[in-house]
Amino acid sequence: MIRRCLTMSVFLLIACFATVAFASPFHDHNQAVSANRAFEALSNRGIDWPTASQIMRVATLQNYNTRLVVLSTTILGTASGLIGTFLLLRKRSLMGDALSHACLPGIGLMFMIMVALGGDGKYLPGLLLGATLTGAGGVVLVLMIRNTTRVKDDAAMGLVLSVMFGIGVAVLGMVQAMPDASAAGLEYFIYGKTASMVMQDFTLISAVAAAVTIMSLLLFKEFTLVCFDEGYASTQGWPVTWLDIAMLSLVTSVTVVGLQAVGLILIVAFLITPAAAARFWTENLKRMLLLSGMIGAISGWLGSSISALLPRLPAGAVIVVVAAVIFLVSMIFGSSRGVLLRVLARRRLNRKVGRQHLLRAVYELIESRKHPEMTDVANVAIGMDDLLHRRSWSRKQLEKLIRIAKHEDHIEYYNGKLLRLSEPGFGEAARITRNHRLWEMYLIKHADVAAAHVDRDADTVEHVLGAEMVRKLEIELVKRGQTLLVPPSPHTIITGA
Amino acid sequence: MGIVGPNGAGKSTLIKACLELIPKASGRVTIYGEPYRKQRSLVGYVPQRESVDWDFPVSALDVVAMGTYRKLGWLRPVSKAQKELAKHAMDRLGVAHLANRQISQLSGGQQQRVFLARALVQDAQLYFMDEPFAAVDAATERAIVTLLHELKDQGKTCLVVHHDLATVAQYFDWVVLLNMRVVKAGPTEEIFTKENLKDTYGGRLALLEEAGQALRHAGNPGSYPGRSQQ
């Protein structure tokens, strides 16, 4: 244990040292440049708000460059939304992050190799190949750390992510010091720079996105199985490891071609946010995939359009912000597991429960005042204080419930201070009390619930009893010779508090 | 056949090793005389219910239809025929009416029955079931027992990891008593005796357990005693 910790810390130390050692000679220069840029951004605060005609031009894709960027990010969004869904369901969200950060050293190294071979250092396919190689290397490293040591997934990912990024920054530092090689522009891969995109990039993104889309749709069944239950998948003879590799390769492809558009720091948000947002709207995986692809596409389109209108805002960041806004909206309004839906459902239930409690309390109160010789319960007026002692509710709560009941025309005031059930209210109260008691009797007879506890137990269920269940209850109890009028309570009703 | 033993006896591990889900330390697994890899289609597996995330966005029918995937083969989507098969299997376990429910909306017992239906749809000869009776309602327990008997009558074999000693004699014809090694195995009426149970559950194996931990510790310096290996 100790030895492993030591090895690891040595590894980390070397990495940190390497970062500092290689980067420091150019540190001043870098700092100057970035300080310069920061100063520019600070001193020039005004945002040039676009005019309507500018918005029209971007929305209708009239400018060649805008068209290229907007279409690229839209297509990329679709693909990343699709494969991101599987990544999310495989619980590998952070893996995408480790992967994208591990791309950076590859870019720098490949640049060096290509320059050394006398070629153009910024030849894009070459750079992306390098990114792919180290990105995949990062994933392999995570898996190796996880499988051979006791370091857990999250720690392994965090480690690889930061170390690989550190190495990448160091390599970029070295690259900039190389003689006769203009490395300017490589740092665009970190934050992304859509403005630098050309036709060649568009073709690449489209081809990769199409391939990823087709692959993830073809392998839908297999990916679903592996994500849901890998143990079962493996007993069925599915090559789980290979399917995982296929899935991660697709993620890698999207990540690598997306580096230029959104940058390696933000690409993980592009992979995960659409899928996470889509989950709020549906319980069906096919619909979730479709929706996630659509949300990805919308984020890409809207994000790059906004960025085209406000040149000061980098596209990658805006895309991620748009995706996050969609996520937020989904979280609140989502039709399947949105927060608002739950809150409303709970409020509706609470209201219903409150109303039923009030009506039953009133009914039981007037029932207790029934003349012993009368068979029927007469609708007599009662005082509010009597009602207050029926349940553990505060005066304020009770007053609110009465107000609602009065609004619903269930309760009316009688002679000023006294309360009385209205005609429909009386019927409703009798029905509610009857349901409650039917359920109580059922519980006592069939579930061996003690009579002293049954009131509480029935209370938790009766409010959600549907008409169908009440009918079943009736049948069940009629079989046992029960009368179906409001039956007497099977336990003594506590009247005072 | 029931597989019975105390916690940590290696009941699930035995099943998982048979199915090559975890590497074997030693020994050989043959199924009807052939290695497992050749006989996969004859083997159905019902994992422990907790082994999956029930929040997954699929319906009960989707899960059961997963049992047909292998026969369906690569890349081909699930069609009506597979859904029919799945529905039929769900019907046998009395959960057909829940087909379109999202799986998180099922009760524990219903989830277990969905898992059994998934294995059933495969039409295997030999079933490995990992604690199907764990934390299920009485109705589900009855449904599973009925299913076990039906499968037996069809000449199939079920290997069931079981926890409840009280029902062993009632549910299983054969029983394996396990505590890190096979204590006894054979027909239930011969093997399931007080004496053998004492051997299985009693403290006699304390030394073995200690030795096992020492071994694990030695083979894996990063681990510490008491932590099970996964």
Distance CA(A149)–CA(A152), nearest Å, equals 8
pLDDT at B209: 66
**Contacts of A316 by beta carbon, 8 Å cutoff, 6+ apart:** A191, A192, A194, A261, A262, A263, A266
pLDDT digits (tens, 9 = 90+) for A41-69: 445 555 667 777 778 777 777 778 888 88
pLDDT at A6: 41
pLDDT tier for residue B222 given thresholds of 50, 70 and 90: very low
pLDDT digits (tens, 9 = 90+) for A446-465: 666 666 666 766 666 666 66
Q: Which of A137, A90, A85 is nearest to A109 (CA)?
A: A137
Is B22 part of the contact surface with chain A (CB cutoff 8 Å)?
A: no
Give me the amino acid identity at B213.
Q
Q: Which residues pair with A411 in a beta bridge?
A: A421
pLDDT at A35: 45
- Calculate what percentage of chain B has a pLDDT beyond 70: 91
Q: Which residues pair with B59 in a beta bridge?
A: B102
Q: Would you say residue B190 has pLDDT above 80? A: yes
Is B69 part of the contact surface with chain A (CB cutoff 8 Å)?
A: yes
> What is the reported pTM?
0.77
pLDDT digits (tens, 9 = 90+) for B1-28: 888 888 878 888 888 888 888 888 788 8
pLDDT at A14: 47
| Cβ pair B47, A229 in contact under 8 A | yes
A120: helix, strand or coil: coil
Q: Would you say residue B34 has pLDDT above 50? A: yes
Q: Measured between CA atoms, how close is A235 to chain B, in angstroms?
A: 6
Minimum-distance CB partner of B70 among A236, A282, A283 = A236
Distance CA(A59)–CA(A302), nearest Å, equals 9
Tokens matching residue A109? 């190294």
Q: Which pairing describes strands B2-4 and B157-162: parallel, antiparallel, or unpaired?
A: parallel
pLDDT tier for residue A281 given thresholds of 50, 70 and 90: very high
- Mean pLDDT over each residue of chain B, to the nearest integer: 83
Q: Would you say residue A164 has pLDDT above 90? A: yes
CA distances for A57 relative to A54, A89, A211, A395, B26, angstroms: 5, 39, 31, 63, 71
pLDDT tier for residue A444 given thresholds of 50, 70 and 90: confident
Residue with tokens 């894009």: A124
Q: Measured between CA atoms, how close is A160 to chain B, in angstroms?
A: 20
Distance CA(B199)–CA(B210), nearest Å, equals 17
Q: Would you say residue A178 has pLDDT above 60? A: yes
Contact B63 A228 (CB under 8 A): yes
Type and span of the H or E element at A57: helix A52-59
Q: Would you say residue A167 has pLDDT above 90? A: yes
pLDDT tier for residue A247 given thresholds of 50, 70 and 90: very high
- Calculate what percentage of chain B has a pLDDT beyond 90: 17
Distance CA(B150)–CA(A111), nearest Å, equals 67
pLDDT at A274: 95
What residues of chain B lie within 8 A of the CB of A147, using their CB?
none
Residue with tokens 């009316």: A412
Give me the amino acid identity at A10.
V
Phi-psi region at B131: left, alpha or beta (left = phi > 0; alpha = psi -120 to 50): left
Contact A229 B52 (CB under 8 A): yes
Higher pLDDT, B77 or A166: A166
Higher pLDDT, B115 or A450: B115
pLDDT at B60: 92
Contact A229 B51 (CB under 8 A): yes
Q: Is the dihedral of CA A242, A245, A251, A255 positive or negative?
A: negative
Q: What is the CA A435 to chain-centroid distance, rounded?
A: 40
Residue A89: how many other CB atoms lie within 10 Å = 24
Half-sphere exposure of A64 (CA within 13 A, CB side): 4
pLDDT digits (tens, 9 = 90+) for B74-110: 888 888 888 888 888 898 888 888 888 899 888 888 9
CA angle B196, B200, B204 (to 5 degrees): 110
What residues of chain B lie within 8 A of the CB of A225, using their CB?
66, 69
Q: What is the CA A458 to chain-centroid distance, rounded?
A: 36
Read off the pLDDT of each residue in A134-153 and give the average, rounded to a whole number: 88
Tokens matching residue A43? 């001193």
Residue A396: how many other CB atoms lie within 10 Å = 8
| Cβ pair B110, B137 in contact under 8 A | no
N-to-C CA span, chain B: 26
Q: In A52-134, at which residue ranges do the beta strands (DSSP E only) sit?
A: none
What percent of chain A is helix, strand and coil (3-state, nearest 5)?
75, 0, 25
Read off the pLDDT of each residue in A71-91 and give the average, rounded to a whole number: 93
Read off the pLDDT of each residue in A132-148 and give the average, rounded to a whole number: 90
CA angle A193, A128, A274 (to 5 degrees): 60
- Calculate what percentage of chain A has a pLDDT beyond 90: 28
Q: Would you say residue A382 has pLDDT above 60? A: yes
The count of residues in chain A is: 497
pLDDT tier for residue A483 given thresholds of 50, 70 and 90: low
Is B139 part of the contact surface with chain A (CB cutoff 8 Å)?
A: no
Contact B102 A283 (CB under 8 A): yes
B183: helix, strand or coil: strand
Distance CA(A427)–CA(A69), nearest Å, equals 67
Nearest chain A residue (CA) to B56 = A228
pLDDT at A16: 41
Q: Which of A170, A164, A163 is nearest to A135 (CA)?
A: A164
Q: Which of A78, A75, A79 is nearest to A212 (CA)?
A: A79
| Cβ pair A61, A71 in contact under 8 A | yes
Tokens matching residue A364? 């039981």
Radius of gyration of chain A (CA): 34
Contact B21 A235 (CB under 8 A): yes
CA distances for B31 relative to A347, B12, B130, angstroms: 57, 18, 18
- Calculate what percentage of chain A has a pLDDT beyond 70: 80
- Mean pLDDT over each residue of chain A, to the nearest integer: 80
pLDDT tier for residue A308 given thresholds of 50, 70 and 90: confident
Q: Would you say residue A127 has pLDDT above 50? A: yes
**Contacts of A186 by beta carbon, 8 Å cutoff, 6+ apart:** A107, A108, A111, A122, A127, A172, A175
| Cβ pair A304, A70 in contact under 8 A | yes
Domain map of chain A by residue range?
A: 2-23+32-41+50-268, 342-495
Nearest chain A residue (CA) to B71 = A236
Q: Measured between CA atoms, how close is B213 to chain A, in angstroms?
A: 17
pLDDT at A286: 92
Higher pLDDT, A182 or A394: A394
Q: Would you say residue B135 has pLDDT above 60? A: yes
Give me the amino acid identity at B71.
K
Radius of gyration of chain B (CA): 19
Q: Would you say residue A12 has pLDDT above 50? A: no
Secondary structure (DSSP) of A128-195: HHHHHHHHHHHHHHHHHHHHHSS--HHHHHHHHHHHHHHHHHHHHHHHHHSTT---TTTTHHHH--GG
Q: Which CATH architecture has domain A342-495?
A: Orthogonal Bundle (1.10)
Tokens matching residue B91? 């019907």
CA distances for B39 relative to A229, A451, B103, B125, angstroms: 21, 57, 30, 10
Helices (H), A311-422: 315-333, 339-368, 384-388, 395-407
The count of residues in chain B is: 230
Q: Under CATH, domain A2-23+32-41+50-268 is a member of which superfamily?
A: ABC transporter involved in vitamin B12 uptake, BtuC (1.10.3470.10)
**Contacts of A301 by beta carbon, 8 Å cutoff, 6+ apart:** A70, A73, A74, A77
Distance CA(A429)–CA(A206), nearest Å, equals 66
Q: Which pairing describes strands B2-4 and B30-31: parallel, antiparallel, or unpaired?
A: unpaired
Contact B58 A228 (CB under 8 A): yes
Contact A224 B58 (CB under 8 A): yes
With a CB-CB cutoff of 8 Å, which residues 33-62 of chain B face chain A?
A: 40-41, 43, 45, 47, 51-53, 56-59, 62
Q: Would you say residue A496 has pLDDT above 70? A: no
Nearest chain B residue (CA) to A289 = B57
pLDDT tier for residue A24 given thresholds of 50, 70 and 90: very low
